Structure 1
Amino acid sequence: MNKKLLLLFFLCMCFGIQAQTGNSNFRSKVLLVKKDSIQLDSVAINPNGFKVFDATKKLIPPTNYSIDFAAALLIIDSNKYSSILVEYFVYPEFLTKTYTPYSESLIIEQNTNDQVYRFRKPNRQKNVKIFEGLETRGFISRGLTSGNNQNAVTNSALDLEISGKLSKNVSLRARIFDTNIPIQENGYSQNFTDFDRIYMEIFSDNWGVRAGDISIENRTSFFVPFTKQIAGLRVNAKLNDEFGFSASGAVVRGKFNNFRFVGVEGNQGPYKLFGQNNEAAILIIEGSDRVFVNGVPIERGENKDYVINYNLGEIVFNTTYPINNDMRITVEFQYSDRNFTRFISYNEAEYKGEKFEISAFFYSENDAKNQPLQQSLSDAQKQILANAGNNTAAMIAESAFRDPFDENKILYRRTNNGTTDFFEYSTNPNDVLFTVTFSNVGQNNGDYVLDRSTAIGNIFVFVGVNQGDFQPIVRLTAPNKSQFAVVQSSYAPTEKTKIETEIALSNNDPNLFSDIDNDLNDGLAAKVTLRQNIINKKWKLNALLSHEYAHKNFRTLQRWESIEFNRDWNLLTNNGTKNYFKSELELRKDQNNYLLYRFNHLNYIDLFNGNKHDFQSNFQLKNTRISLNSSFLTNTSTLENNSFFRTIGRVEHFFNKSWVGLLANVENNTRENITTQELINTSHKYKDYEAYVGIGDSTKVYAKIGFNYRDNDSIRSNRFEQINNRKTYYIQSRLIQNKDTKLSLFANFRETENQFSANEKSLNSRLIYQQKLFNDFVSLNTTYETSSGNVARQDFIYVRTEPGLGFYTWIDYNGDGIKDFNEFEIAQFQDQAEYLRLPKPNLRFVPTQKAKWQQNIFINFKKWADQKGLKKTISHFSNQTFLLASNEQERTGNSFQLNPFDFEENSLVSLQLNFRNTIHYNRGMQNYSTSYTYGNSKMKQQFLIGNQDNDVALHQLDFAHKFSTYWLVELMTSFSTNSLNTENFADRNYELCNYEIQPKLNFLYSKDYRFSGYYHFKKKENSILNQEELNQQKFGLEYFFLGKKNQQVSAMLNYYLNDFRGNPNSPVAYQMLEGLQAGKNLTWNLVFNKKLNSFLNLNLNYFGRKSENVRAIHSGSVQLRADF
């Protein structure tokens, strides 16, 4: 039995590892629309990739619903859509934040029977014990979609969690995920393993085997600490109490980078991150990031310090972590590197005795130079690499290569103007064509300029030698190798003495195609440390001596020195052979009471010599805590004589329910040129003082108010002069926290007085207020936030994919065969969805000031249902209000954007405004149930191709009443306006007035059987440009049956009469007709679901449509799904 189970698990693992795209954060839900507001998830939703389909799997335009992504709240017309399919991605759990727009008290009891409208039973996750001792959770599905307008497309999904015991001493744990669904609408996903953790692990107390996504790390080594996310196999075993070993072999998922930048005053981001070779288009491995500010690590999370966009490689600091230009920011991360197939092996063994311990490990990371992935190297390019050695500046080659004609590529032909050969854009399939990559080489250093941008790429044109900015060249990436061997040991001859040693060998070859500079590949490092306890009483006296040696050729994959080692020592370069001596004396009582002195001597042969004295102390004197951390450095190098003094002191006193504190932080770094004896511009001084007072318990209800003053000096005219001073006023608080009320406030106001430039001011604030009133009679949630940052001018391209796996369709409106940006539409039907939109790395940002207000109010009169008279009448009513106003205005001078409702067009960069109010009578009761909804939304977005504004206003009345036993009558009528204004595409602009009415009659034979007929009339008029007009009549029938043998059947038939006046081949017509044609249209849909056994489900879906003078389109899918 266990053998069969193991075989199944390994097959599932292979199934998951072979997949190319997917995401464990993907969600797909079929939902019954019983009310306008639908809570989709308990965590925030990624705006990218969000889609809503109706019962026919037709994509619902975003103008027909509103969505609060942070609160995962969808607002959609419950009378217009009986059931919907929602596909979206949630953020990883550690990035999510619950905004709590509604509490559990807002859930309304309803008397309707859910089965009346249910097309599919909910796929609730549940634990199914297939075999004793094992628990499984998840599903496996496999499907096929085909039709006469698309090729057959397979779709599969696997999402399994398995845990339990295989035997008395052996346990199993697995997480397997795979899907061929695109990760997001914008499609910027290279491989699902860059995001997901897919593994299977079998283990006992003394051994373990793990296959799939694994994390290998070594944090005990001084010279070669590392953490790597890899995909492969790891084996570990403990042979006895003293000896153990482990071995790993895998394919590397990414490469490491350490990116540094200085914060911009009052700019919370996003800040763009780049790769080792300044690559902008990077995909960061999820969870591999670590961020340091002024050498101090900070935490990721929307409730903490920062969030990071792994797809775009951008970091944003939260409102509660204000950024200024005194912050030195370092971001360490791994990013996907697909240039060569790269293999890794890591093997370690250790012995632990009573007095002696020794361990060793060998690490090897090696590119397969004959297995390139993203780049295909020609013989000439390989020769360039062979001649370049380790010089990356010499790894430049012509980028052009022969490529057959493809309408979805930008191609060039080689031509001549009589004196010069150059490339010219061509769409002629008879030409000898090339794919050419152009690199920006600086103004007047190239021969080409950007001519225009299209939806599938940029087109460049030759303008003359050294008259342009671009050249048809590409930087080659050489395969490399990194190997390390490390031996560590420790010996404790007595309880008071311990000797530690570490020896490390490195072999780094940055270019496996070249033998040049191979004498620089090998390096050696060693360290010895002696620890001695001199006095072992209440106050312990400890001593430490250590010496560290590192050859100049010794290199590691990741940082092994402290994050600000170079700054701490005034190092210009650390490329020499290093000798570092350290002696330390510490007097310690406990963690809160100690004194420490350390002498440090650092030498880089022929380059640098420095001595540094460190003093640290901390004392707890009853209710007073005192700490001091000081250092003094003197150093000489080939160019400088320096002295660097630093001290940080803090005093805090705690009262019964409050505390006060003082902080002083001083630096004086004097750097002189050895030759001229003049001060160097990198010299600096500052004095930073802070005072604060707090009341309450910082883990519960509290308030902390503080003031900070900083004075910065720099070099002008060979002496220190003040360049600015900064005053900061702040409050951090959680003022109220109980079952009915929560109130928290954060505010940080900073003003900078600059001596040689304009003064600056910045403000960050956040207010969160949640209240339940009158015994849950009224519930409200309020969030107000203001900060400053950037808005990207987003650029993107469209890439063709398999029909049904994309989100967009291309319509060649002008018939020129060129895919222009204004010719792509959101596909209304699945067989037309042939394109994905890929965002390009953001390199152009607009500085902004942001203000946001989010408000939810729910009034539930049902509390009076048991009352009499007027209160009894009022109890039939309820009211729900939702408001989100978020705008970003261009930041100019010291102005603040505090008003989220300020929509001044001249400075408005980005806007999201959603207001929706619905008043209900007999909500959900089908007894003269009536609701009136007013909605208004405005949205403005920044794109590189121009701004886009979309305004929608809606008035809608819904009525539902069930009479006798079998009949339910529904009526929906609405009036709305919908306008779109694009900056550079006038043919896409429209101002629509829409009127619609839909009566619907339902025959409810039982809870398992429903038959409906309806008539839907729409009138749309465009008041600008060509003034198109549409009168649409739709006649529809719906049928639903839930059989007793676990089967469901639903069918839908719609007949459209589209009386359209205007140009049917235009973006406006596509929007008005919703993908249909003028004249007569017919659509039909049939869905069959059957539960074959306790966990196996069969789904058949057939969809068709027919328009006048157009052949009928048929598409169908079959899917088999096993739920565990």
Structure 2
Amino acid sequence: MSTPLRILILLLSFMMISLSSMSQSNLRWKKVYVQNDTIQLDSLTIFQNSLRVFCGESLLTQNDYYFNGNTRSFYLKYPCGDTLQFRYRVFDIDFQKPVQRIDTTIIYKNDGNITDFYYRDEDDRFDFFGEDEIKKSGSISRGISFGNAQDLSVNSSLNLQLSGKIADNVNILATVTDNNLPIQPDGNTSQLQEFDQVFIQLYGEEYKVIVGDYWLKKPKGYFLNYNKRAQGIFGQYVMGKESEKWMIQGGGALSKGKFSRNTIQGVEGNQGPYKLRGKENEPYIIVLSGTENVYLDGKLMQRGQEFDYVIDYNTAELTFTPRHIITKDIRIVVEFQYSDQNYARSVFVANTEYQGEKLDFWLNIFSEQDAKNQSLQQKLSSKEKLFLSKLGDSIQYALSNSIDSIGFMDNQVTYKMVDSLGIDSILVYSVNPDSAYYRASFMNVGTGKGNYIFDRYTAVGKVYKWVAPIGGQPQGDFEPSRLIITPKRNTMISSGIEYRFNDKWKARTEISTSYRDQNTFSKIHKDDNRGYSNKTYIEGIHKLGKDSLTTWKFKTVVDFEYTSKYFQEVERYRSIEFDRDWNVRGKNYTGDQYVSLLSFQFLNIKYGSIELQAQNFAFGKDYLGNKGRLLGEWNQKGLHASVDASYLDSKSDLQNSYVRHKSDINQTIGPIKIGFEDDHERNVFKENTLLRLDSYQWYDWKVYFGSSDSLINQFQLFYSERYDWRSDSTRLEEAAIARTIGANFDWLSSQNSILKTMVSYRKLDIKTPTLINQQPENTFLGRVDYSLNLWKKALNFTLFYEIGSGLELRKEFLYIEVAAGQGVYTWIDYNNDGIKDLNEFEIAQYPDQAKYVRVFTPSDEYVRTYSNELNQSLFWRPERIWSNKQGILRFLARISDQVRFRVYKKVSDANWEMYNPISRSIADTSLLSLNSSIKNTFFFNRTSPIAGGDYTYSQTNSKYMIASGFDGKSQEYHSVSLRWNLVKVLTIKTSGELGEKRAIVDYTVGRNYSINYHNIKPEIIYQPNTIFRISLEGRYEEKRNQASFGGERAFLSDIGVSIKWNQLDKGSLNGEFKFINIVYNGSQNNSVSYELLESLKSGKNFTWGIGYQRNIVKNLQVNIQYNGRKSENNRVIHTGGVEVRAFF
């Protein structure tokens, strides 16, 4: 019996045993047929974070609707079919109802004979804003740092949050910071904290004004759609009453990003990452956080590790969770905004909307344009601008030579210019200041189309090498060229009107015009810039009986859409799979487009609906498609059934027939739900009498068994099969079959024990290898998430385990110089050649050395991997339950233990290691990526103020791939720490540590070592009161590098004293002095010596420091720091700094 099958049997047994304990919950499912734009959801208070809204099978985002938690009313911003489904949880009370414990009639007016009692806080805090009704938090600081081994640098920070009332009907909400490097939030949660949102908002009952960062959201209407982050000013004013209301919006800003849409075909067994690209096919982009919409097979996904996907915004990489197996059949569509700094880009919007009892009207204006004379990342010469002015819309040919004469710079890759084989202007890498005057960016132009190849990596970037052509044919892949991004302009104006004739009939029409200029430098090719569009919609609903829950209604819809040949959208406004639905994906059709729809629908709130549609789509003279579609849904006595079937007949240069259907039927019997669903497509393209090779057919069916939606504890088992047929030019022949089995289980009824699991296994068999470019594949995904709290939380246990498969990116990195103290790394020129080599950068031990940061840059090279992740923690705190006991229990209450274990690894072999979280040696070649740590601390008398001790075992391992190899480090140690308060003012501490540090690197030389070490650190602390403390510290440590790595040995002896004076609300003074004597037998000019000597030198070393902090008033603070060090035969290094910080 296979391992996946055993797991499923165990899960099924556990589910059946636990089924009897499942109780009714506060979870509610509600289906509503939309008749008005406002829907009353419930009479009880709704937990807003639990609200999920579905339009068909698509999950709506919070940007698509308004929800008023006080009134429980729901308002849909944009039309979305006739049926909405709501899933939410409710509280069992109505928080809007008045609740009182005291009779308000006993409250009476003060007649002057009663003395009011009040308390005044005698706080000398200086109020910058002078307004008690404004809540403020944050700080502002200004400082300088200096030293004899660094340049003077200035640092500053501002972080201020304001909220409150300024005056009557004037409120403020503000976040202000001067952070020049905004932090992108991690894309692994459903809710993002916007670190880089800087704005000031003034608002009242009828208006709001925002200055700073804000979101531009889609206005009312059909054609104009956008979801942008901007930085500027935006205002909104609302006037009128509920029955007749005007809303005016407008703003101008700098656009923070550009829109891009990526269509990706899933790869069998690859959960990710999938690399996103920019609109101009830029390979390295930064996605603006929160702007992405991710679709799988047309369904909108939800971000978050516990949901559907996670995204790395900085590297533009998308990874899917085990909730969805990514296969060769999955269609992935991602729409997003990404940072684009080629030009300063401005955006202007103006929206007007009127809502009346019968009439609605709207007018929207949008304009976005690049400032062609304000190029940012790309610098344009006069010659290049002239070239672009003659190019017109042929922007794919906007290529320019990237060679730039800058003079020698040691922080960039530089070249010299030579002649070879009668060819001049050949770039050759050089670090000679007398000739290395040139820099260049290289563009991949395709194999055999360039004259340069990639040569090697350096600490400051990639190096390329010229290769001689053979027979006049280039032999390389790269050229010193760059694609010039042209400045663009995009404008759209749309206006519409909706009129409700009565409660049965309404009509809506909208017209729009667009203007898009692909190259504002050029005045040619302007005849295709402007386009037009129109959409007209008529709807009629007739009741077939008296009003009741069982009343049937008949709905008629006539819909017509026209877009001219040159009409251009701002962002997608049609359905996500419109092109696929009409079989026009990837087609270069041109001409006006016509879309028409005639729909007849019978619907019933209680039982369901049935709808018949006739649709037509014409694309100029190139394409004509006619489609019939049937949609149905039925609910009765626990039975739910739905169907979506269509037939498309289209004519273009080919004859096409496209048959699709999707159905689902399930029955709920008490706490159990049993169901069956299937999905089928047959898409045939004929050319004369032959079948095109892109013709296909597939059939996917699934049977499932689980719990009903109303239960707190949920489970489901499922089994599915998918059959694929491909064309051999004469007929469709079976090409592949895939079988999938899986289970999900959520135990949520107990707050002290929560379990969430999911597991799935897919086996793909290839029947006819000649028809499908795919290898057989087995995919196994799983996740367990468990938390346990027992005995008043004396025992706390958590477990997260996940297995999957995907890709690992080979990264490149380079070092960039920054101001001293703001970096992480230091450069030590070990070979004294003045060149920054990869093996010459170390982690800085002192602030004046920290002058470099390491920046990872992604490559295009991915490696197939199998991954697993384990996070586990255990905390045993018996004092919570036994501290008041007597005897043995009281003694055991002194013993506690804390264990933390985390591992995330990726391997290349599909064997037991893909499931095993215990890491191999970092030297194992099949281990591609690793980040693991285990730490166990055993405490005795942890909470005692008199004496105590602890023992710790720790092991950390890390390994990551880079383009030229891998970098791995590990550390393992045992430590013991003891403390004893001899008397109230005197404490003795002693600690010892025994361990090993290892580094294994294969992309350079001189960085491998294996160091065994042991040390002891005694300390005596004298503290007579809370104001003053003095401590005497010592250390003796031996370090030995193994003989196979060099055999170096170091002996370190430290003695030092530290003093601290602290006065509450006044300030503090800290000082320390340390003498370190080092005996070392090896070379002091390599990476191993830096690690052994801790960046000091063999012989006598001295370090000292003084820090003074003074509170001028309670919210104004001054900090002064001075540090120094001296090594034998080296000069004294002095560093210092002064900072003033004000707290709000």
Please say whether Structure 1 and Structure 2 have the same fold, judged by a TM-score greater than 0.5: yes
Is 1:1074–2:1088 an aligned residue pair? no
The answer to which of 529-538 and 202-211 deviates more is: 529-538
1:662 corresponding residue in structure 2:
676
Distance in 1 between the 2:258 and 2:633 partners? Answer: 40
Q: Is the 8 A contact 2:146 2:1135 kept in 1?
A: yes
Query: 2:846 pairs with 815, 829, 832, which one?
Result: 829
Question: What is the aligned-residue identity percentage?
Answer: 29
Amino acid across the alignment from 2:147: G
Structure 1 residue 696: Cα displacement: 5.9
Amino acid across the alignment from 2:323: T
Is 1:347–2:355 an aligned residue pair? no
2:120 corresponding residue in structure 1:
none
Distance in 1 between the 2:481 and 2:388 partners? Answer: 14
Q: Is the 8 A contact 1:231 1:253 kept in 2?
A: yes
Aligned ranges 1:851-890 → 2 under 5 Å = 851-862=868-879, 863-890=881-908
Distance in 2 between the 1:193 and 1:707 partners? Answer: 39
2:635 corresponding residue in structure 1:
620
2:12 corresponding residue in structure 1:
none
User: What is the SS of the residue equivalent to 1:381?
Assistant: helix
Q: Is the 8 A contact 2:610 2:631 kept in 1?
A: yes
Cα separation, partners in 2 of 1:779 and 1:185, compared to 1, 3 Å: closer
The answer to which of 735-744 and 1046-1055 deviates more is: 735-744
Aligned ranges 1:1-20 → 2 under 5 Å = none
1:60 corresponding residue in structure 2:
none
Aligned ranges 1:264-279 → 2 under 5 Å = 264-279=267-282
Amino acid across the alignment from 2:155: N
Aligned ranges 1:1007-1022 → 2 under 5 Å = 1007-1022=1026-1041
Structure 1 residue 385: Cα displacement: 1.6
Structure 1 residue 697: Cα displacement: 5.2
Query: 2:439 pairs with 417, 428, 435, which one?
Result: 435
1:502 corresponding residue in structure 2:
510
Distance in 2 between the 1:938 and 1:315 partners? Answer: 26
2:493 corresponding residue in structure 1:
485
User: What is the SS of the residue equivalent to 2:624?
Assistant: strand
Query: 2:525 pairs with 503, 513, 517, which one?
Result: 517
Amino acid across the alignment from 1:570: N
Structure 1 residue 984: Cα displacement: 3.1
1:903 corresponding residue in structure 2:
920
Structure 1 residue 886: Cα displacement: 3.2
Structure 1 residue 296: Cα displacement: 0.7
Distance in 2 between the 1:388 and 1:1036 partners? Answer: 72
1:12 corresponding residue in structure 2:
none
Q: Which has the higher contact order (CA 8 A, sep 6+)?
A: 1
1:598 corresponding residue in structure 2:
613
Is 1:425–2:429 an aligned residue pair? yes
Q: Is the 8 A contact 2:859 2:963 kept in 1?
A: no
Distance in 2 between the 1:129 and 1:594 partners? Answer: 60
Query: 1:555 pairs with 568, 573, 587, which one?
Result: 568
Normalization by structure 2: what TM-score? 0.84
User: What is the SS of the residue equivalent to 1:503?
Assistant: strand
The answer to which of 170-179 and 422-431 deviates more is: 422-431
Is 1:567–2:580 an aligned residue pair? yes
Distance in 2 between the 1:470 and 1:194 partners? Answer: 39
2:388 corresponding residue in structure 1:
385
User: C-alpha offsets along residues 436-495 of structure 1, whole Å, 9 cap, x if unaligned?
Assistant: 111111222111112221010111122123122111111111111111111111222333
Is 1:982–2:992 an aligned residue pair? no
Structure 1 residue 631: Cα displacement: 1.1
Aligned ranges 1:288-437 → 2 under 5 Å = 288-417=291-420, 419-421=422-424, 422-431=426-435, 433-437=437-441
Aligned ranges 1:634-1033 → 2 under 5 Å = 634-637=649-652, 639-673=653-687, 676-695=688-707, 700-735=712-747, 737-755=749-767, 756=769, 758-773=775-790, 776-862=793-879, 863-892=881-910, 897-901=914-918, 903=920, 905-1023=924-1042, 1024-1033=1044-1053
Is 1:583–2:603 an aligned residue pair? no
Cα separation, partners in 2 of 1:668 and 1:895, compared to 1, 3 Å: farther
User: C-alpha offsets along residues 575-631 of structure 1, whole Å, 9 cap, x if unaligned?
Assistant: 321011111112222286111111111111211001111111111112111111111
Cα separation, partners in 2 of 1:895 and 1:1105, compared to 1, 3 Å: closer
Q: Is the 8 A contact 1:270 1:315 kept in 2?
A: yes
User: C-alpha offsets along residues 726-756 of structure 1, whole Å, 9 cap, x if unaligned?
Assistant: 1111111113641332222210111111112
User: What is the SS of the residue equivalent to 1:230?
Assistant: strand
Cα separation, partners in 2 of 1:127 and 1:701, compared to 1, 3 Å: farther
Distance in 1 between the 2:847 and 2:969 partners? Answer: 25
Structure 1 residue 699: Cα displacement: 6.1
Cα separation, partners in 2 of 1:1045 and 1:805, compared to 1, 3 Å: closer
Q: Is the 8 A contact 2:647 2:657 kept in 1?
A: yes
Structure 1 residue 694: Cα displacement: 1.0
Distance in 1 between the 2:180 and 2:682 partners? Answer: 58
Amino acid across the alignment from 2:869: K
Q: Is the 8 A contact 1:932 1:958 kept in 2?
A: yes
Structure 1 residue 182: Cα displacement: 8.1
Cα separation, partners in 2 of 1:515 and 1:195, compared to 1, 3 Å: farther
Structure 1 residue 353: Cα displacement: 3.2
Aligned ranges 1:221-232 → 2 under 5 Å = 221-232=221-232
Q: Is the 8 A contact 1:181 1:805 kept in 2?
A: no
User: What is the SS of the residue equivalent to 2:569?
Assistant: coil
Cα separation, partners in 2 of 1:499 and 1:778, compared to 1, 3 Å: closer
User: C-alpha offsets along residues 309-368 of structure 1, whole Å, 9 cap, x if unaligned?
Assistant: 010010111123321111000111100110011111111222333322222122111111
2:84 corresponding residue in structure 1:
none
1:143 corresponding residue in structure 2:
143
Cα separation, partners in 2 of 1:592 and 1:562, compared to 1, 3 Å: farther
User: C-alpha offsets along residues 655-701 of structure 1, whole Å, 9 cap, x if unaligned?
Assistant: 2212111111111111112xx33112222211111111113656621
Q: Is the 8 A contact 2:839 2:1005 kept in 1?
A: no
Unaligned runs of 5+ in 1: 1-124, 187-191
Q: Is the 8 A contact 2:220 2:362 kept in 1?
A: no
User: What is the SS of the residue equivalent to 2:387?
Assistant: helix
Structure 1 residue 817: Cα displacement: 2.2
Q: Is the 8 A contact 1:787 1:851 kept in 2?
A: yes
Distance in 1 between the 2:648 and 2:969 partners? Answer: 60
2:60 corresponding residue in structure 1:
none
Cα separation, partners in 2 of 1:457 and 1:574, compared to 1, 3 Å: same
1:260 corresponding residue in structure 2:
263
The answer to which of 201-210 and 143-152 deviates more is: 143-152
Q: Is the 8 A contact 1:384 1:396 kept in 2?
A: no
Distance in 1 between the 2:758 and 2:138 partners? Answer: 41
Distance in 1 between the 2:752 and 2:194 partners? Answer: 42
User: What is the SS of the residue equivalent to 2:259?
Assistant: strand
1:166 corresponding residue in structure 2:
166
2:1115 corresponding residue in structure 1:
1095
The answer to which of 902-911 and 782-791 deviates more is: 902-911
Distance in 2 between the 1:295 and 1:485 partners? Answer: 28
Amino acid across the alignment from 2:783: R
Query: 2:1069 pairs with 1046, 1049, 1066, which one?
Result: 1049
Distance in 2 between the 1:549 and 1:855 partners? Answer: 58
Aligned length: 991
User: What is the SS of the residue equivalent to 1:992?
Assistant: strand
Structure 1 residue 195: Cα displacement: 5.9
The answer to which of 293-302 and 850-859 deviates more is: 850-859
Distance in 1 between the 2:129 and 2:371 partners? Answer: 44
User: C-alpha offsets along residues 128-184 of structure 1, whole Å, 9 cap, x if unaligned?
Assistant: 995132111222222222222222222222222211111121111112233357859
Is 1:462–2:470 an aligned residue pair? no
2:451 corresponding residue in structure 1:
447
Distance in 1 between the 2:343 and 2:730 partners? Answer: 51
The answer to which of 565-574 and 287-296 deviates more is: 565-574
Cα separation, partners in 2 of 1:210 and 1:1012, compared to 1, 3 Å: same
1:108 corresponding residue in structure 2:
none
